[in-house]
Structure 1
């Protein structure tokens, strides 16, 4: 889902929620991810991130987190 000049792994535009699934390479890209998150926030999106292993090993917990985030108010651009 394109947001600003970035592409979110998943997004729910009506809720202004972007979901990123990060692999191991993101452990070394903390600053780049922060810039990406800020760019999406400028457009009103909240960004939540999960590691690949979380999605694969705890899908129920990941889904619960997403549902919880859906209940929160979107950020203002």
Structure 2
């Protein structure tokens, strides 16, 4: 999982960075740094994302789209 994947999930769920950060109990700056590639996705953050969003078909499709494109159309 990388920053593009985190952004894809956030955009798919129609959330802002502060909303996602609050849901995952991390700082907004952590989400911003991850999405911008300035920070790696820690194991702890991966676990929180998996526990929160699971691995349903909708999440898997968002991840697949993120892998296909370096830039998400918002």
TM-score, normalised to structure 2, is 0.39
RCO higher in 1 or 2 (8 Å CA, sep ≥ 6)? 2
Structure with a larger share of its residues in strand: 1
State which structure, 1 or 2, has the greater radius of gyration over its C-alpha atoms.
1
TM-score by length of 1: 0.38
